[in-house]
Structure 1
Amino acid sequence: MLPSERQLRAQLAFFSDFIRVQAEKGDPYAKVLGVPENPYPHYEEIRARGRLYRSSLGAWVTTDHKLANEILRDRRFGVRKADGEKIPELMSFDNSMLGLDPPDHTRLRRIAAPTLNPRTAEGWRPRAEEICDRLIDGILAEDKPFNLMTSFAQRLPIAVIADLVGIPERHHGDFYRISRRMTPLLEGAVTYEQTQSTEAAIKEMTELFVDVIAQRKADPQDDMISRLLPLVDEGSLSMAELVPMVTFVPLAGSETTVNLVGNGILALLAHPEQWRLLAERPELAAGVAEETLRFDPPVQQYRRIAHERIEMAGRTLPVDAELAIIAGGANRDPQVFSDPDTFDITRRIGADTLAFSAGIHYCMGASLAKLEAEVAFKALVTRIPRLRQAGPIRRSGSFIIRGMVEFPVAAH
């Protein structure tokens, strides 16, 4: 039975208070869950506790790059407990791949992969360039300070994803509006109001896709929905799986791109010598994307559950032990990355940054996200070379997704 509003509010308040108390007692992971403006010093506190440490909150935590990579690739860990219960922030993902372990995850991933492979992603470059130019045309025509997130960063990936999935033009506005309301699903909804809002948004998005799917049945196009519908007819994919797939996979991919663009521009403007270097050499735009993924990744941490008793890093993990893999900390592991706190767009990354996870849950939209960010960085520095921050930023308030709600900038 689902908890009542009063029970849910009480549970959330208790958990929030517990985190606060443990942070005050010095637990570095509790400090991270408090969503500080700059979590990176706390990641170093975690690193100082050892390769794998047990937080007073109960989770096992690591910022060690090698160990994080091993855990993400280890099939003995998954996203569900032994009894099938999901990790809390994935509760609303139902039949989506994001909340499934093999064999269902493997089957659905194989079905979706052709739409999101690197070769297919490259084919979207002209469309991404067209969208960037259109958005910048509108920004320059306004000739006033603007919020980079709402005027540019959020609109680029949503427009690309809408076309890729197969959402007709007349539904683009609704798709954008509902998608923004669903982001707490990825961020880890922490209030009753967020929970209610996202549940309502899921219902609205499901209704939208039921309509779109009916349209694509009648008029197939070159898009994800049209390619997947025959699989429903033949029985290898159910309608109950199709709707979450075309809802949550694009949502996860677009939200990563939104914050990759925002975090990258913020880092460039905070390091003016790097902005000038990019202006002189726009071909470094791909390097900006890669370095941003290392230096300030959109996804800061992943959760995994031990499916069996596991000996690791000198520790014994029981069945259903919960692990927090801190990608934001692993990406600044000095054992792997030299001068890890330095933002350098000419850096040869070398190692996997874990910014898109690793192993069977590696983000299928990684190539598309990096391509869109590359196009965005090149377009902005070329067409708005005097871009500057025009006011204080406001962050989203998530310990999972690191990004901004407000990023005021000006063209000159």
Structure 2
Amino acid sequence: MTFPAQSVSAGDPLGLLDLFGDGFVRDPYPWLAALRADAPVHHDPGTGLWLVSRYRDVRRVLLDPDAFRPDNAQHAVAPLPVGVLRVLARAGFAMPPALANNGTPSHPGLRRVVTRFFNARRVAAAVPVIEGMADELLTAARQHIDEAGGHDLFTSFAQVLPCRVLMELLGIDGVSPATLIRWSDASLELFWGRSALQRQLELAALVGEFHQWLTGTVTGGTASRDSFIGALTAHRLPDGRPLDVQTAVGVCLFVFIAGQSTTGQLISTVLSRALAEPGLWSRVAREEGLAEAWVEEVLRREPPVTTWRRVTARPVELGGVDLPAGAQLLLMLLGSGSDPEVFASPERLCPHRANVRQHLAFGAGRHRCPGASLARTEAAVALRAAARHLPRIRQAAGAPDAPMLGLLSFRAPLRVAVEQPS
């Protein structure tokens, strides 16, 4: 049963909380406010997870990976059926500790390999490339709008731009952006969703294809040493051994999903919220820094990565609750950005908010997202370019009711429908 969000204060709403329900997905904020106020560390019987919703508690967990380990960060939300596991096994699929789920001594070295390709210097150098790709995609979108009167900027722009940028930065070819997007989205849905068996089997087949393609790419021996794959192949573990293929593939899987799917979700939300904000669309193309400020506020209020998981390494007290060793935590990143103890009037999107960079949308500490600078830059470039190329568009009728991605850790509009007045 899905409890209506507007009735969240009645009775015992937390007993009816459904993290996958349409009420929560469409308007999670009343639920998150109730959690912060009444049960900041709350055991959710539907998932078996402890929901951690206050900013100070979420930040404490992120900054102490020894007490709150990342081992479960990429586990399937629910046990996968035997038939699904067989499909994955036939493809050789495995998810060893690599980046987000790695609490071992190998993590710092692997993180350095990744951050080398997404540091501030490389991102700044890539801005003209991002702008060129955005211009190309938006020119096609404008033509479609001129001819048809309306268009969806999610599938034609928000999804495609980060995928093409990632392929350019990492030197990936031999596969189409559409295929990479399909594989990446399937991985998110399979491991973070709650799908019926037949759908899980379809997703597992796509994830298996993705894994086999990544394995072939890593082992193919054709990557140059200065490419991302080449750097992984040349990497040595703390004991001097070369990086094993499964871990290298695990790193690639995480980078590809984070670099394209979640960034596409961010761009989708940024565009949708900008179009809905009176007067913003006409300003964002001409006001210096407004696109960047808007992106930062969207990251605070509506991050694409809404939650993340940790597991307690030992018995620990958190938010007034005694947790045993092995307790599975769900950090409510979405809720932490709306904590009124940290952000005044958190429900309002206020560009240039003084303390906005304190948000936890990219995590914190040693597991903070290494692609944060690239994601911010792509979203700001995308917003500015869209406002410049399509100055007369507005949200299409029914746009606020667009379908939403509602996975355990990912949330975004799946359609950015726009129209142009005649």
Scaled by the length of structure 2, the TM-score of the pair is: 0.83
In terms of mean alpha carbon deviation, does 388-397 or 152-161 score higher? 388-397
Secondary structure of residue in 1 paired with 2:358: coil
Post-superposition shift, 1:394? Answer: 1.1
Partner in structure 2 of residue 53 of structure 1 = 42
Q: How does 1:122-133 map to 2 (within 5 A)?
A: 122-133=124-135
Post-superposition shift, 1:260? Answer: 1.1
Post-superposition shift, 1:127? Answer: 1.2
Matched, 1:181 2:186: yes
Query: What are the Cα deviations for residues 104-132 of structure 1, in whole angstroms up to 9, with x where unaligned?
Result: 43342233221222222222211111110
Partner in structure 1 of residue 361 of structure 2 = 355
Structure 2 distance, partners of 1:28, 1:269, is: 36
Post-superposition shift, 1:147? Answer: 1.3
Post-superposition shift, 1:212? Answer: 3.3
2:303 aligned to which of 297, 303, 310: 297
2:58 touches 2:336 (CA, 8 Å); kept in 1?
A: yes
- AA matched with 1:209: L
**How many pairs were matched up?**
390
2:387 aligned to which of 364, 381, 391: 381
Structure 2 distance, partners of 1:221, 1:300, is: 36
Partner in structure 2 of residue 94 of structure 1 = 95
2:76 touches 2:190 (CA, 8 Å); kept in 1?
A: no
Secondary structure of residue in 1 paired with 2:235: helix
1:32 aligned to which of 19, 23, 32: 19
Partner in structure 2 of residue 243 of structure 1 = 249
Partner in structure 1 of residue 143 of structure 2 = 141
Across the aligned residues of Structure 1 and Structure 2, the Cα RMSD in angstroms comes to 2.9
Partner in structure 2 of residue 265 of structure 1 = 271
Task: Give the ranges of 4+ consecutive aligned residues of structure 1 lying more than 6 Å apart after TM superposition.
Answer: 17-20, 90-93
Query: What are the Cα deviations for residues 156-211 of structure 1, in whole angstroms up to 9, with x where unaligned?
Result: 01101112222215544432332333331464343323432332122212232344
Q: How does 1:92-241 map to 2 (within 5 A)?
A: 94-95=95-96, 96-142=98-144, 143=146, 144=148, 145-168=150-173, 171-185=176-190, 187-213=192-218, 217-218=221-222, 220=224, 222-231=226-235, 235-241=241-247
Structure 1 distance, partners of 2:39, 2:207, is: 40
Identity %: 28
Q: 1:86 to 1:400 in 2, by over 3 A?
A: closer
Secondary structure of residue in 2 paired with 1:339: coil
Q: 1:35 to 1:236 in 2, by over 3 A?
A: farther
Q: How does 1:388-403 map to 2 (within 5 A)?
A: 388-390=394-396, 391-392=398-399, 393-403=402-412
Q: 1:197 to 1:78 in 2, by over 3 A?
A: farther
Structure 2 distance, partners of 1:350, 1:18, is: 32
2:2 touches 2:16 (CA, 8 Å); kept in 1?
A: no
Structure 2 distance, partners of 1:192, 1:408, is: 31
Secondary structure of residue in 2 paired with 1:97: coil
Post-superposition shift, 1:51? Answer: 3.5
Structure 2 residue runs without a partner (length 5+): 80-92
Structure 1 distance, partners of 2:270, 2:63, is: 27
Matched, 1:69 2:59: yes
Q: 1:31 to 1:176 in 2, by over 3 A?
A: closer
Post-superposition shift, 1:235? Answer: 3.5
Q: 1:321 to 1:19 in 2, by over 3 A?
A: farther
1:306 touches 1:320 (CA, 8 Å); kept in 2?
A: yes
Structure 2 distance, partners of 1:230, 1:59, is: 38
Post-superposition shift, 1:389? Answer: 1.2
Structure 1 distance, partners of 2:190, 2:355, is: 30
In terms of mean alpha carbon deviation, does 395-404 or 147-156 score higher? 395-404
Post-superposition shift, 1:366? Answer: 0.9
Post-superposition shift, 1:350? Answer: 4.2
- AA matched with 2:133: I
Q: How does 1:322-341 map to 2 (within 5 A)?
A: 322-341=328-347
Q: 1:25 to 1:191 in 2, by over 3 A?
A: farther
Query: What are the Cα deviations for residues 251-287 of structure 1, in whole angstroms up to 9, with x where unaligned?
Result: 1222221111111111112212333332441531111
2:58 touches 2:331 (CA, 8 Å); kept in 1?
A: yes
Structure 2 distance, partners of 1:274, 1:56, is: 42
Partner in structure 1 of residue 31 of structure 2 = 42
Structure 1 distance, partners of 2:389, 2:191, is: 32
In terms of mean alpha carbon deviation, does 398-407 or 185-194 score higher? 185-194
Post-superposition shift, 1:26? Answer: 2.1
Secondary structure of residue in 2 paired with 1:124: helix
- AA matched with 1:80: D
Structure 1 residue runs without a partner (length 5+): 1-16
1:19 touches 1:33 (CA, 8 Å); kept in 2?
A: no
Scaled by the length of structure 1, the TM-score of the pair is: 0.85
Structure 1 distance, partners of 2:283, 2:191, is: 34
1:282 touches 1:378 (CA, 8 Å); kept in 2?
A: no
